[in-house]
Amino acid sequence: MDFLTGSCLCGRVTLRVPDDFEYMGNCHCSECRKFSGSDYAAVGGIDSAKFELTNGADNVSYYRKSAETDVAFCSTCGSSLFSRKRTARKHNIRLGILDDAPSARPAFHIHTASRASWSTICDDLPQFEHAPPQ
Ligand SMILES: [Zn+2]
Ligand SMILES: [Zn+2]
């Protein structure tokens, strides 16, 4: 199993995940837009047990955006790092923090009903107005 490393802008926080994402997609919801500061967030999901903070765990701040979900960011540089789902036991890694290229690619767009009006989707990936069908 290959592993991927990720890091924040200032480098204080580093993490490691296996190159084995269960899903990978682009989320256009308003919360991801706020948290990422961009028109959408490219995220890859993995079982929380496979996620490892390798450096700077005490430098990660968590914001509880709902009962289920915490979002994590570097306390020093503010980089958006990941969200963690408490009962689903998933970590959704913000793909922009990866230092290595994952073997998978984003395969869908979700929450396109909340897409920023100035943002254009320029690929042929499936689009879901809300969450993808289970
Ligand atoms: Zn940082
Ligand atoms: Zn989202």
Q: Cα of 118 to ligand 2 centre, how many Å? A: 17
Q: What is the distance in A from the centroid of ligand 2 to the CA of 49? A: 22
3-state SS string for 24-68: EEEECCHHHHHHHCCCCEEEEEEEHHHCEEEECHHHEEEEECCCC
Contact between 68 and 86 under an 8 Å Cβ cutoff? The reply is yes
The reported pLDDT for the residue numbered 132 is 80
Q: What is the pLDDT of residue 41?
A: 98
Q: Which residues surround ligand 1, an ion (CB under 5 A)?
A: 8, 10, 12, 74, 76-77
d(CA 87, CA 79): 25
List the structure tokens of 28: 């256009």
pLDDT at position 134 over 90: no
Burial class of residue 23, CB neighbours in 10 A (0-12, 13-18, 19+)? middle
Domain boundaries, the chain: 3-24+40-101
In what order do the strands lie in the sheet containing 14-18?
Answer: 3-7, 14-18, 52-55
Which residues hold their Cβ within 5 A of ligand 2, which is an ion?
A: 27, 29, 32
pLDDT per position as a tens digit, 78-130: 999 999 999 999 999 999 999 999 999 999 999 999 999 999 999 999 999 99
pLDDT-above-70 percentage for the chain: 100
Distance from residue 96's CA to the centre of ligand 2 (Å): 15
pTM (2 d.p.): 0.94
Pick the CATH number of 3-24+40-101 from 3.40.50.450, 3.20.20.140, 3.90.550.10, 2.170.150.70: 2.170.150.70
pLDDT at 1: 72
Ligand index nearest the alpha carbon of residue 94: 2
